[in-house]
Structure 1
Amino acid sequence: MGLISRIYGCFHPPTPPKSSDAIRFGVLGAADIAPLALFKPAKTHPEVIVQAISARDRKKAEEYAKTHGVLEVKDTYQEILDDPNIDAVFIPLPNGLHFEWAVRAIRAGKHVLLEKPCTSNSTEAEILFSLPELDQPDEPVLLEAFHNRFYPSWALFRSLVKPAEIERIETRSMIPWWASNKNQIHFNYNLSGGAIMAMGTYNFAALRLLFGDSPEECVSCDAKAFTDGIHDKCDYEFEATFRFPNGGIGIASSTLMGEAIIKPSWVTVYIKEAIIPNDTLSAGQTQYQERELTLQGLVHGVFWHRIDVKEINEIRTKEGAVIRKWEETSSRKAYTWKEAGGEFANLPGETYWMSYRHQLEQFTQYWVEREDSIAQMKMVDMAYEKSGLGPRPTSWFR
């Protein structure tokens, strides 16, 4: 019943009264992700109102606004940016338009919640996150919307990992074949489509954050891409291997054409073998331990997640002979910050809050360094270069 109650609460949340000084959002584009990423979370937030939306098709925007309870419809994206009553914008446009409209929004003095990936490539990311407006007094907030980074289970998982001890990390995500088709923007090269851009960014971010550093090299990137003359250079599946400064290896894979049954995303961290103090051992004997930590449900933790810890122990003689070997396992879950514990225990949140709701809560409070988003796109470029497909195209906009 806990699962059913939690999922029901995600999609039928309580709606508290709004504050008189609530942040008013404008939305650029009638994207499929907006209801999940902003509309439903905003309903539960007393200090957030979705004020206006604009889309290329006015009629579509009106129908969309009526369906989702958006108060106003604007004729153009620029009208949203010019409206003094709008404090912030959410940009869920196709990847290839992120850079232009994020720049325009920042220059208009709006706070920006920008769908991941933040731009098409690192060239755009360096320009965007170096805008002089971001260094002015009362500067606008610019946050790349990696929603899963704000979820309690992810914070708890990171707290269990020490970057210097990591030997290898493997991470996987997927979208089943029936939820994807060639007509989607994921497979439009000019709009910066591709599996690495779509789901792979989650895996790349997990590697960077767990290692606490950017990779030194993309050792390999095996990408399967369409070659039909229409969707060329758009990868639908990939596996990339990176080498990190501590000598550790990170392996990320994803597909937009996966098996019919949805499999939750995951990340597994393999810790270097270590000596474990044990006063009960005989002379010449030493206990060694290898650890594996897995976060099941990396991307959408609220539906289901679990942190599994496996400890593989061996007692050996000084000559290396194994006297005894055993495994110990344990599991934890953290749907709330209280369950995550430690330094997170007093943060606000409810069991039914999705990662998007946590993201919205922390939008103006949680600071992700600008360099983080630039480093993310450098890693994406590194993989695309190694794959032979090349980085996604840079916008004409400056």
Structure 2
Amino acid sequence: MVVALASRVYSAFAPPKVEKRKDGAIRFGVLGAAKIAPMALITPAQSHPEVIVQAVAARDRSRAEEFAKKHGIPEVRNSYQELLDDPNIDAIFIPLPNSLHYEWAVRSIRAGKHVLLEKPSCNTSAEANILFNLPELTQSPNPPVILEAFHNRFHPAVRKFLSFIEPEHVVHVHTDSMVSWWLVNKDNIEFSYKMGGGSMMALGTYNFAMLRMIFGSEPVECVSCDVGVLGDGIHDQCDADFRAKFRFPNGGIGEAETTLRGSLLWKPSEARVTHGEVVVPDKSLPDTQEKVRTREVTLHGFIHAIIWHRIDVKDSFVVRNKKDGQPVSKWVESNSYKAYSFAEAGGKEFEGVAGEAWWMSYRYQLEAFVNRIKGRETQFWVDGQDSINQMKMLDMAYEKSGLGLRPTSEFR
């Protein structure tokens, strides 16, 4: 087991390099020498025959040159705009600070480039409404493709987990995620209000997306949102941690909590789903009895499933008399699952979906992004309306918290 884990993780971060196709390869330009770029694009691209990371631009050319040399990127541009103006660049990856996502995504779309946009897509839903409804996205025969990079939503573990859930019967969901305190300095962009910082923007947005997928709908109300700040008088508009509660259309409650100042030891993210009672047909029972089931489904590690994850399914059954509800018998059935590839996930809905056990979620995401650009079928996707709804949920929480929305860009 340890050997398999080590082999999988090693291959994920040092994947086999494949020969690039001479014709039809998608050439990426990267805006900014961001820390996330290697894991989110550069490393996954090594094993994709149709992806070439061609160029990078940063505010400081020397920094871009250093980044390019370190990661084997052939070309460096003097500015972001110069990269967008390059006719040999097909797609743009935007891992910039949150407050710059909207402007440079709009500029990229208007330059005719496909866009892989780090999450959260924007600072506010107002920005998202403009971005994902740009006329350029629908008015040309082959419009640009834009994807908010919710990488974990493309991983087999998340999809296998969702296959055990019946949204209409969900009554409660708990989600949590964390970053250890020593990984995030107070001077990082996560604590910069002007840059769109905050734990909800940095990490909690994953929790929110999980809630929306689990309920299969949008929240109707943010019941509460309690936040903690550093309290130094400088970074107090940014939540260092939060705990939010949402009500969904079926009456179910979804909870999310995140901290950027967690304990020394890392705890995998968790999504725990509780279903209400469901009558299960059973022809072996007399007409006077019925069998009911309640289910709890937990996914440990919903953000970075490649490192480790486990799906626990606990079904509690009761056979009872219909007349008085008295139980006749009770039992519990528990099973655990893992799914590092769609072949391992099983099920007809996963048949034919590409992937290897060592693919990290970013690699699955890149596969879908390329397939969408090439006009191929994509089993899973995050469309523009989905991204708009995601930002509406973030707005809802920030308004309830009292911190207010993140700054909205004046760029149009």
Q: Aligned with 1:189: secondary structure?
A: coil
Cα offsets for 1:35-92 (capped at 9, x unmatched): 0000100111110000000111111111111111111111100010000000000000
CA contact (8 A) 1:339 1:345 kept: no
The reply on whether 1:69 has 2:75 as its aligned counterpart is no
Q: Which of 335, 338, 342 pairs up with 1:330?
A: 335
Counterpart position of 1:266: 270
**TM-score calculated relative to the size of structure 1:** 0.97
| Structure-2 separation of matches of 1:207 and 1:86 | 36
Question: Deviation at 1:321?
Answer: 3.4
**TM-score calculated relative to the size of structure 2:** 0.94
What are structure 1's unaligned runs of at least 5 residues?
Answer: none
| Structure-1 separation of matches of 2:218 and 2:164 | 20
| Structure-1 separation of matches of 2:192 and 2:63 | 22
What are structure 2's unaligned runs of at least 5 residues?
Answer: 373-377
Counterpart position of 1:354: 360
| Matched residue type, 2:241 | E
| Matched residue type, 1:166 | V
Cα offsets for 1:201-260 (capped at 9, x unmatched): 000001111111110000000111233221121001111110111111111111111111
CA contact (8 A) 1:195 1:235 kept: yes
Counterpart position of 2:25: 22
The reply on whether 1:115 has 2:118 as its aligned counterpart is yes
| Structure-2 separation of matches of 1:211 and 1:194 | 25
Q: Aligned with 1:362: secondary structure?
A: helix
CA contact (8 A) 1:102 1:128 kept: yes
| Structure-2 separation of matches of 1:10 and 1:240 | 33
CA root-mean-square deviation: 1.3
Distance 1:131 1:283, change over 3 A: closer
Q: How does 1:1-398 map to 2 (within 5 A)?
A: 1-20=3-22, 21-136=24-139, 137-281=141-285, 284-317=288-321, 318-341=323-346, 342-364=348-370, 365=372, 366=378, 367-398=381-412
Question: Deviation at 1:295?
Answer: 1.1
CA contact (8 A) 2:178 2:266 kept: yes
| Structure-2 separation of matches of 1:285 and 1:349 | 46
Question: Deviation at 1:268?
Answer: 1.2
Question: Deviation at 1:281?
Answer: 4.7
Cα offsets for 1:281-308 (capped at 9, x unmatched): 5674433221001111100111111111
| Structure-1 separation of matches of 2:330 and 2:84 | 64
| Matched residue type, 1:209 | M
Cα offsets for 1:140-161 (capped at 9, x unmatched): 0010000001111111222222
Question: Deviation at 1:345?
Answer: 2.2
Q: Aligned with 1:291: secondary structure?
A: strand
Question: Deviation at 1:198?
Answer: 0.6
| Structure-2 separation of matches of 1:185 and 1:241 | 26
Aligned residues: 398
| Structure-1 separation of matches of 2:410 and 2:234 | 21
Amino-acid identity (%):
59
